[in-house]
Structure 1
Amino acid sequence: MLLHLSAEGPPIYQQIVEQIRSRIISGQFQPGDELPTIRGLAESARVNPNTIARAYRELENEGLVEKRRTRGTFVSQNTPSLSVAQRRKRLTPEVDRVLILASQTGVSVEELIDLIQRRRSLIEQKP
């Protein structure tokens, strides 16, 4: 699993939670899919295994994943769906950051929408 982690911004475990949560909610991960092992993901992401364990615990507390003793961590069969208000609340800070950055760099709203659409098509093509 490819993770994009940054030393800047939120703690690493929160970045991991957000990225896995996003993949589950978007359908990239299906109910029953097995997540990488804690040790395996820690090695590929070059982070401490405790960081991955903390992220998995948070996802488990949200009901997005479930641990199966001795078998691993899996996407929950009963993934909670988010309401429109919850989805907007989760996206608003990210949209604000993108809009501010676009304004600071002189990118118009039309250019931003075009970029979002192109990036979305690229992301949807990836397995």
Structure 2
Amino acid sequence: MLNIDATSSTPIYEQIIDEVKEGILKGIIEPGEKLPSVRELAKMLTLNPNTIQKAYQELERQKVTVTIRGRGTFVSEDYQPRKDEERLMEVSELFKKGIVEAYYMGLTKEDICNLIEKLISELEGVEKDD
């Protein structure tokens, strides 16, 4: 279900958040779908349940999921992406770092734009040829 890289510098709980959001964008995880319980997911990924709980709490804070006592955690039926200025600044910094790296690798502005379009197409489930 989720691909977690224990060697990554990105905290595991953030990887879980990103993977759930990507799954929703790709249609792999549907609105209203029940997510595994904290214990189930911790067992599947061999992680500490506290890590899963932290990710689930953040997903709920961002209104990506809703938790119903006694029933579990579900993908929000009416989730609407919203601009969060703090997160927008973080994303901008990530893009900036990626663009700097791409330029140092010798990619042109056109190459970078094509790469971004390809990645967006993948998230939207559209295959795009190079």
> If the TM-score is normalised by the length of the shorter chain, which range does it land in?
0.7 to 0.9
> Of Structure 1 and Structure 2, which has the larger fraction of its residues in helix?
1
What runs of 5+ residues in structure 2 fail to find an aligned partner? none
Q: Which is worse superposed, 80-89 or 61-70?
A: 80-89
In structure 2, what residue type is equivalent to 1:100?
Answer: V
Gaps of 5+ in 1: none
Q: 1:97 to 1:66 in 2, by over 3 A?
A: same
Partner Cα separation in structure 2 for residue 19 and residue 5 of structure 1: 11
Aligned to 1:94: 94
**Cα distance, 1:7–1:64 mapped onto 2, change above 3 Å:** same
The 5-angstrom pairing of residues 1-127 of structure 1 reads: 1-21=1-21, 23-24=23-24, 26=25, 28=27, 29-83=29-83, 88-125=88-125
How many residues align structurally?
A: 125
- The ranges of structure 1 where at least 4 consecutive aligned residues each deviate by more than 6 angstroms after the TM superposition are none
What secondary structure is seen at the aligned counterpart in 1 of 2:67? strand
Q: Give the alignment's TM-score, normalised by structure 2.
A: 0.71
Alignment CA distance shift 1:39-1:84 (3 Å): closer
- CA-based RMSD of the aligned residues comes to 2.9
Residues 59 and 9 of structure 1: is their aligned pair in 2 closer, same or farther, counting only changes over 3 Å?
A: same
Distance 1:74 1:31 in 2: 8
The structural deviation recorded for 1:56 is 0.3
> What amino acid maps onto 1:110 in structure 2?
E
- Deviation track 1:54-91 (CA, whole Å, cap 9, x = no partner) reads 11012223332111223220122443541385674352
The answer to whether the 8 A contact 1:5-1:16 is kept is no
Distance, in Å, in 1 between the alignment partners of 2:118 and 2:48 is 34
Q: Secondary structure at the match of 1:66?
A: strand
Q: Indicate the percent of aligned positions where both proteins have the same amino acid.
A: 32
For the residues of structure 2 that align with 1:94 and 1:6, how far apart are their CA atoms? 20
